[in-house]
Structure 1
Amino acid sequence: MASPPPSLADSFRTVAVPTGAGWRRWFAFAGPGFLVAVGYMDPGNWATDIAGGSAFGYALLSVVLLSNLMAIVLQALCVRLGIASGMDLAQACRARYSRGTAIGLWLLAEVAIVACDLAEVLGTAIALQLLFGLPLVWGVAITALDVFVILGLQRFGFRKLELFVVALLVLIAGCFVFEVAQARPAVGAMLAGLLPTADLVTDPARLYLAIGILGATVMPHNLYLHSSIVQTRAFTDQREAVRWATIDSTVALGLAFFINAAILIVAAATFHVGGRHDVAEIGDAYHLLSPMLGVGAASAVFAVALLASGQNSTVTGTLAGQIVMEGFLHLRLPVWARRLVTRLLAIVPAALVVVATGDAGATRLLVLSQVVLSLQLPFAVVPLVRFTGDRALMGAHVSPRWLHGLAWTIAGLIIVLNLSLLWSMV
């Protein structure tokens, strides 16, 4: 089967891989995993983690850990698919499914990208409001200008784009090292929270937030994104490329786990322990952090990290949208046009909710967007697992039986959790 033209053609095989061994060769493969990791710590994660930590203490840490482990496996499959088949997930769906099925999967992928972009819009607008007092509806409108940030970064090449994202990730991580140090969480309670309990499924309120955390962590658009951007490396040895790219994504997702867990830990140690089990709004968390921790800078550091998170997610959301459209439809739009279409589809509902319900509705819409992402997830995971287990497509890099079985178990767990949520809602 002939491979279709690559998505992100301007970046395809543009990052040189030096010969020989050593850290420089590893460094050449480092980067795509960190772009993917951005989606695992976007503003949607903040909303679900803050609400979960405030309401249930450390109990939902187990969901954060489980979601991250699932993400590591699924992103490793994306690496295999992109490197071994020469196609990203969107291209593989178009090539292996009927036209009707491919169009349906494309529409669902676009819904997931809009839901993700909605979280980025609201997160950035909330951060601007907290830092500068800007009305939320104006912050929503200003996010349309993010397209110029993307255009400016892409002019300098894909490697520079990766370095920009990594710099913002380091800033976010540093902010939360500070926050956790000030919150002084109970180590024993944290460790206990890493073990799942039955009430995660039996309690509808916990299940709703658990699904939200899952949707905010394992994002559908990341599967399309990762399977494409691993092809930016000019590798010659597929086996080596799979190994190094998998290490890259695993390390990056380890950082994402730290940040997600830190958000929940700060909420649990500050709000839940302090008797404030009702803190579900990002704005409320901002206003309460400094007085409850007794540290004046805590709230400002929190808002700076939120703004960096929203801007980082903007970069990867744009790339994912471009990959999905090119892969499924073979339609290439200018980056500015693709970005504006996606952003306007997110801005309109965000602005309507803010106008209709005020600032209080923004965080509720953030959590809902993450639940929508989770409901879309099986429609990306199931094709990914099928393709990476197909020897005719993958050749020597087909998933071994243990990995294929584990991947199907993860897909089944995601489907069961989503069905449980739908049943509880009914």
Structure 2
Amino acid sequence: MSKETHGESLGNVHNSVETQGKIGWKRVMAFLGPAYLVSVGYMDPGNWATDLAGGSEFGYKLIWILFVSNLIALLLQSLSTRLGIVRGLDLAQASKNTYPRFVNFCLYILAQIAIIACDLAEIIGMAIGLNLLFHLPLLWGVSLTISDTILLLFLMNKGMRKLEGFIISMIFIIGLSFLVEMFIVEPNFGDVAKGFIPSNIFKSDLVSKKMLYVAIGIIGATVMPHNLYLHSSLVQTRKIDRTDEGIKNAIRFNFIDTSIALNLAFFVNAAILILAASAFFRNGFFQVAEIQDAYKLLEHIFGSLAPALFAIALIASGQSSTITGTLAGQIIMEGHINLRIQPWLRRLLTRLLAILPAVLTIVYFGDQALGSLIILSQVVLSLQLGFAVIPLIHFTSDKQRMGKFAIGPKVKILAWASAALIVVLNIKLVIDQIFDWIKQYPDAQVWIYIFVIPLTLGIIALLLYVFFKPILKLHEEKPARVPHGLAEAINNLDAKAYKHIGVTIDFSKNDRDSLRHAIMQGGKGADYTLIHIVETAAANYHGTEVMDHETQSDKENLDKYVTSLHALNFNAHAVIGYGNAANAIAQIVEDEKIDFIVMGAHGHKALKDIIFGTTVDKVRHRVNVPILIVKPGV
């Protein structure tokens, strides 16, 4: 079975892990990894806040919610992997095919809000962990989290297996910390077992309303929408045999990977809730929703080891979760709206959008409000779940495109039941919240009726469209256009003769190779313009010609190149630009009417790209002529 035509999801690591030719446990190990990157999202600081709130206020009563959430997560993540393996599409790409442009834009906005909400929880968790261990002020800790962009760049450039290894090491630290804490707090395992028995959270009394709010937060923190996008892409990092047997094996091995990883996540979440119930609820502390309070109470009740382990696990959780959030952001941006930007910029934008509410909360409401903000972020995640889950079920049920790998009736019933549970819980929460606002803020009733209710109805209408469109075929499904469009038929290829070739010169060892490749393209029939940009402080400031020592020296050197080319019977002249290199080169190309450019690459990447800049990439987006990039020594 072949993949559908589309742009590669996470193209820099697509099909980068070899699985063929391996036998036995080595083959299983080759598939292990993607689910661990997903699982860290199920044990991030957002889970901590909801689990602490549930355990301290309701004891062990919400363990069953955790268990059901984990089963739903296992089901939905397995559907996500099936979509990625069989169709070779991530969830955002499949949505792009199925829904019209405006709907995809709305889905992108909602998914982006969910990622920001998730990132917000990670920022706060990291800041709190640094505060607890090193007494770093929360505002400083929130600001410091922006630096993890560098870590992400480093890991992504080391390859997928190195990234997975880092995440697994973080999971090991988290799991070990809570395993030790379980021995310290000594929970009542009889009461823990009773917590797996469902209790009624749909009553109208105040306690049940609070329990419902926390329960939805737990579901939102456990079944995370961006993880569905992420998992459908990560499984495509494995290079598999595209036969029916190869796809079947890939689905089976990835299910094993998912089962192990999500059960580890369930252990961590259950451990946090049990820790809160055993340490706080049992001792009469019923309102411990704040992570800082949990740390202090652990120290008060059990000494210094338990809270230290708690803080270390919190930092590991926040740091690992932030990486997966970046990858998910890249997937939804490229998939839904065909926009591809540099990963570090993608990471920076998401982080800044998440930092802003955290900083404003600290400044205006104080440190103590961060716990409530984390829980709110998890409720926001849950509200977005339906917009990811419903399309996923439709896509994996489609026999026309999934073929023999479409999900069967039993799995379909379980999947739709899970989706119905999520949507019903969310609708009840929203209705209760709106009525509470109307009662609590009578002066704001007009604004609630003008803005909040119409917005809510619009979102419900969008959800109904997302549900009914694949059934009613309201929009013709088109092949994916992510992110660069479809290949066109090639019938005839005539040789292209370039008449005016520009060559960028930087007076390095790259120049000889650049000139050689330029001459190979144009021969003696073309005109050659040698381009050099002066980037001195004066040139950058004025953006025009300056006659400092460096400029005069550059002109003399450039004239030597021109003289040498004239001696070889090539028609060449030199042009010097000033200021920003990319802008100056683009302007020279336009003024000189150059129809082909040859540029020498420096060969650096990752961190050096941030420090030294990426002129080649910037020029590529500013000109409308072909560019030949020559690497050093080629």
What range describes the TM-score normalised by the shorter chain of this pair? over 0.9
Provide the residue aligned with 1:331 in structure 2.
339
Provide the residue aligned with 1:389 in structure 2.
397
Relative to 1, partners in 2 of residues 1:246 and 1:201: Cα closer, same or farther, differing over 3 Å? farther
What secondary structure sits across from 2:239 in the alignment?
A: coil
What secondary structure sits across from 1:245 in the alignment?
A: helix
Provide the residue aligned with 2:247 in structure 1.
238
The 5-angstrom pairing of residues 296-315 of structure 1 reads: 296-315=304-323
The 5-angstrom pairing of residues 9-408 of structure 1 reads: 9-199=11-201, 202=204, 203-236=208-241, 237-293=246-302, 295-408=303-416
1:151-190 per-residue CA deviation (whole Å, 9 max, x = no partner) reads 0111110110001000100110000001111111001100
For structure 1, which runs of at least 5 residues remain unmatched after alignment? none
TM-score, normalized by length of structure 1?
0.98
In the alignment, residue 222 of structure 1 is paired with which amino acid?
N
Provide the residue aligned with 2:486 in structure 1.
none
How far does residue 309 in structure 1 lie from its aligned partner after superposition? 0.2
Q: Tell me the distance in 2 between the aligned counterparts of 1:39 and 1:132.
A: 25
Using the TM superposition, name which of 150-159 and 2-11 deviates more: 2-11
Contact 1:35/1:162 (<8 A) preserved? yes
What secondary structure sits across from 2:42 in the alignment?
A: coil
Q: Tell me the distance in 1 between the aligned counterparts of 2:232 and 2:426.
A: 25
How far does residue 20 in structure 1 lie from its aligned partner after superposition? 4.8
How far does residue 200 in structure 1 lie from its aligned partner after superposition? 5.8
What secondary structure sits across from 2:268 in the alignment?
A: helix
Contact 2:4/2:87 (<8 A) preserved? no
What secondary structure sits across from 2:424 in the alignment?
A: helix
Q: Tell me the distance in 1 between the aligned counterparts of 2:26 and 2:94.
A: 32
In the alignment, residue 266 of structure 2 is paired with which amino acid?
F
Q: Tell me the distance in 1 between the aligned counterparts of 2:53 and 2:84.
A: 36
Q: Tell me the distance in 1 between the aligned counterparts of 2:376 and 2:30.
A: 38
TM-score, normalized by length of structure 2?
0.66
Answer 1 or 2: which has greater strand percent: 2
Relative to 1, partners in 2 of residues 1:312 and 1:201: Cα closer, same or farther, differing over 3 Å? farther
Q: Tell me the distance in 2 between the aligned counterparts of 1:50 and 1:140.
A: 21
Q: Tell me the distance in 2 between the aligned counterparts of 1:227 and 1:268.
A: 35
How far does residue 30 in structure 1 lie from its aligned partner after superposition? 0.3
Q: Tell me the distance in 1 between the aligned counterparts of 2:408 and 2:370.
A: 44
Q: Tell me the distance in 2 between the aligned counterparts of 1:179 and 1:304.
A: 12
Q: Tell me the distance in 2 between the aligned counterparts of 1:13 and 1:330.
A: 21
Alignment: residue pair count? 425
- Higher RCO (C-alpha under 8 Å, 6+ residues apart): 1
Structure 1 segments (4+ residues) deviating >3 Å? 199-202
How far does residue 18 in structure 1 lie from its aligned partner after superposition? 4.1
Relative to 1, partners in 2 of residues 1:189 and 1:76: Cα closer, same or farther, differing over 3 Å? same
Q: Tell me the distance in 2 between the aligned counterparts of 1:16 and 1:302.
A: 37
Q: Tell me the distance in 2 between the aligned counterparts of 1:330 and 1:292.
A: 53
Contact 1:201/1:207 (<8 A) preserved? no
Percent same amino acid at aligned positions?
51
Contact 1:72/1:249 (<8 A) preserved? yes
Contact 2:4/2:89 (<8 A) preserved? no
How far does residue 64 in structure 1 lie from its aligned partner after superposition? 0.6
Relative to 1, partners in 2 of residues 1:421 and 1:186: Cα closer, same or farther, differing over 3 Å? same
Contact 2:8/2:14 (<8 A) preserved? yes
Relative to 1, partners in 2 of residues 1:398 and 1:201: Cα closer, same or farther, differing over 3 Å? farther
In the alignment, residue 82 of structure 1 is paired with which amino acid?
G
What secondary structure sits across from 2:400 in the alignment?
A: helix
Q: Tell me the distance in 1 between the aligned counterparts of 2:84 and 2:310.
A: 36
In the alignment, residue 194 of structure 1 is paired with which amino acid?
F
What secondary structure sits across from 2:79 in the alignment?
A: helix
How far does residue 79 in structure 1 lie from its aligned partner after superposition? 0.8
How far does residue 423 in structure 1 lie from its aligned partner after superposition? 2.3
In the alignment, residue 412 of structure 1 is paired with which amino acid?
A
1:195-243 per-residue CA deviation (whole Å, 9 max, x = no partner) reads 1111365510000000000000000100000000000001111111011
Answer 1 or 2: which has greater helix percent: 1
Higher radius of gyration, 1 or 2? 2
How far does residue 405 in structure 1 lie from its aligned partner after superposition? 1.2
For structure 2, which runs of at least 5 residues remain unmatched after alignment? 436-634
1:77-107 per-residue CA deviation (whole Å, 9 max, x = no partner) reads 0011000011000000001111111111111
Contact 1:18/1:28 (<8 A) preserved? no
How far does residue 21 in structure 1 lie from its aligned partner after superposition? 3.1
Q: Tell me the distance in 2 between the aligned counterparts of 1:184 and 1:239.
A: 44
